[in-house]
Structure 1
Amino acid sequence: MSGSPQAPAYPDLVRDLADRGLLSGRWRQVFEAVPRSRFVPADVWRQLPDRCEPVVGRDAWLALVNSDEPVVTQLDDGVEGGPGVATSSNSMPSMVARMLGLLDVEDGKGRARAAGLDPAQLLDLGFALYAGARLPGVRLIHKDTEEGVQVWVTREDGAGATAATGEEVWQYGPGFLWEEIEEAWWEYESAGRPDAEQFGLTVTERGQHVWLRGPSEVIRPGKG
């Protein structure tokens, strides 16, 4: 007589990432020491092609958390009664592993400086839209902390930064990604901190453009 199937175990996920060549020996040790479940709240959703499906029960929660899938952690910017659009998630472990590999972090490579803004401000939905257009290729993940939030940002060229509320910013890789993010924030602030409803998207045969308040006000990518 067979019992009910067990939920996937986190070590199996780490082993799979390592077998796929996504984790170096040092990053594998970090993944093994810090399970993904520490950063995932109790109420989550699975992202389906056409909707977000609530995850019910501990076994279903573990199955999703210990898989190589994104975990939706917030809908509609936290406002009840919305259409059910994912506005925050815990990223796919394989994507996180790839970004960490691109950072090429070694002892002594990090650069610390005072933060010019609270990283919690980066979670503003309007800013996410603005920064997505100004800083293409930049990805952000975050977790809540007792003091506020901690964020990790990376770019396809290997640039990266991590910042937590009340602490210094650490930057890695080429360029000064955090300075570019701060500059984008002050541009957004100067524009009146527009909410998501003031942004639009124009799609043509030649590409797509995000605009603010009108199709003629296209948000151009920065030079970073």
Structure 2
Amino acid sequence: MTAKANQDRPSRTELGRVLMSGGALPVDWAPSYAAVPRSAFLPDLMWPFDMDTGTSIAVSRTDDPGAWFGYADSDVPVVTQWDDGAHTGTDPGRVSTSSASMPSVVFRMLRDLDAHPGNRVLEIGTGTGWNAALLAHRVGVENVVTVEVDGAVAERARASLSRFGAAVRVVHGDGYEGCPEGAPYDRIIVTAGVRHIPFAWVEQARPGGLIVVPWGTHYSNGDTVARLVVAQDGRSASGAFTGPVEFMKLRAQRLPLVVHSDYVTGGPTGRDESTTDITEDEFVGDRFGPQRFALGLRISNCHCVVADKRDGARPVWFYGLTDRSWACVMFRDGDTARVWQGGPRRLWEEAEAAHRWWENAGRPGHERFGLTVTASAQHAWLDEPGQSVN
């Protein structure tokens, strides 16, 4: 298949139409979408997320090119590495550690970045190299620097970018440190979820520059895109969130595995027990809804696990990250939710108070929250920087 035919596939044209009609693909990014196909940066063996089954499946370009290109041209995330490269075989591995994001997410973040021709751009998290190629088409190859912590991933991306004719500078290093030798940058975009924003990124951006980064708390695996503007004096960066996403986390900031048996043995019954009148729908909400994000801002050092619903019952667990405090609320259809707690912290009471705070604030969505980063701290706020929520 020729490069021209590769770019003119009907499925790719249809994806572009869907992205534009849904507002994900801005008009000014359409030429870059047309010129830079995601398929040029995907490996022959990949693991797209199948929406019908809710699982990642192995797809080989050699064995089934039709399915391979079909997924390449779909608005689905594609895993390209498992278990930090230790994985072998075709079955999915244990932990996905590198991927190509959903095209809708990619272009929404590029829209937030507001990069213009000639802007200097630093990307943290090269992945496949597709995002860097899109940026290169927009601002010029010479103006893009991309940093990748995994040496093998960096080398594959470098080869793909070179083969495609967009040989941007790929740096193998820890993106947490940025890339000071290329600074200052007009724009910085991060393609990994973070829990703490290093001030190095602020220092390496121009005054008035933009930093677009998926940010969140260890309360959940979800992230929310922060669009931060660097102050004219360079001493801070601040801005509102634009919407929910979910990214693999920056390797230096991954949450260590939370082992349930380290907290609870023998089940929660018989422990400190109570009830709550908060319902499952009110508390759990949608996976990408604002409740979980808001609660994570208010409940420090806590990880929440929303279990699958079975036989009309759904347990939600809370684990303290600085001690062995825990809590469990059991939502059951047609019945009052029961609560059990253990340890020095009363985690359910903290969660219940955080939920009441969110409701009393008018159930704010992601866009009403924002983030400010200084050399000494970062704090989230509601509506304006002076109204800190964490």
Common fold: TM-score over 0.5: yes
Residue of structure 2 equivalent to 1:162: 328
SS at match of 1:96: coil
The reply to whether residue 185 of structure 1 matches residue 210 of structure 2 is no
Residue of structure 1 equivalent to 2:83: none
- Does the 8 A contact of 1:188 with 1:194 survive in 2? yes
Closer, same or farther: CA 93–192 of 1 in aligned 2, 3 Å: closer
- AA matched with 2:376: R
CA distance in 2, matches of 1:70, 1:162: 28
How far the C-alpha of 1:170 sits from its partner, in A, is 1.6
Q: Structure 2 stretches of 5 or more lacking a match? A: 1-51, 58-75, 81-88, 109-244, 249-253
Residue of structure 1 equivalent to 2:151: none
The reply to whether residue 86 of structure 1 matches residue 256 of structure 2 is no
Q: Deviations over 1:18-77 (max 9, x none)?
A: xxxxxxxxxxxxxxxxxxxxxxx932469xxxx95259xxx85x633xx2x379xxx99x
Match of 2:272 among 111, 125, 128: 111
CA distance in 2, matches of 1:123, 1:106: 29
Residue of structure 1 equivalent to 2:9: none
- Does the 8 A contact of 2:372 with 2:379 survive in 1? yes
Match of 2:375 among 190, 205, 209: 205
Residue of structure 2 equivalent to 1:153: 318
- Does the 8 A contact of 2:79 with 2:96 survive in 1? no
SS at match of 1:113: strand
Could you tell me the TM-score, scaled by structure 2's length?
A: 0.34
The reply to whether residue 95 of structure 1 matches residue 257 of structure 2 is yes
Closer, same or farther: CA 45–211 of 1 in aligned 2, 3 Å: farther
Could you tell me the TM-score, scaled by structure 1's length?
A: 0.57
- AA matched with 2:273: A
Aligned CA RMSD, in angstroms, stands at: 3.8
The count of aligned residue pairs is: 158
Q: Could you tell which deviates more after superposition, 168-177 or 114-123?
A: 114-123
- AA matched with 1:164: M
How far the C-alpha of 1:129 sits from its partner, in A, is 2.4
Residue of structure 2 equivalent to 1:16: none
How far the C-alpha of 1:171 sits from its partner, in A, is 1.3
Residue of structure 1 equivalent to 2:292: 128
Q: Identity of counterpart residues, as a percentage?
A: 24
CA distance in 1, matches of 2:300, 2:372: 16
- AA matched with 1:150: P
**Structure with greater strand share of residues:** 2
Closer, same or farther: CA 132–200 of 1 in aligned 2, 3 Å: same
Q: Deviations over 1:91-144 (max 9, x none)?
A: x997131x541x254688622211231244244532222222211101011123
Closer, same or farther: CA 54–150 of 1 in aligned 2, 3 Å: farther
SS at match of 2:92: helix
- AA matched with 2:92: A
Residue of structure 1 equivalent to 2:78: 53
- Does the 8 A contact of 1:116 with 1:182 survive in 2? no
- Does the 8 A contact of 1:142 with 1:150 survive in 2? yes
Residue of structure 2 equivalent to 1:5: none
CA distance in 1, matches of 2:340, 2:330: 10
CA distance in 2, matches of 1:148, 1:197: 32
User: Greater Rg, structure 1 or structure 2?
Assistant: 2
Higher relative contact order (CA 8 A, sep 6+): 1
- Does the 8 A contact of 1:119 with 1:150 survive in 2? no
SS at match of 2:78: strand
Q: Deviations over 1:128-168 (max 9, x none)?
A: 22222211101011123143632111112211111222241
Closer, same or farther: CA 194–110 of 1 in aligned 2, 3 Å: same
Residue of structure 1 equivalent to 2:54: 43
Match of 1:142 among 288, 306, 310: 306
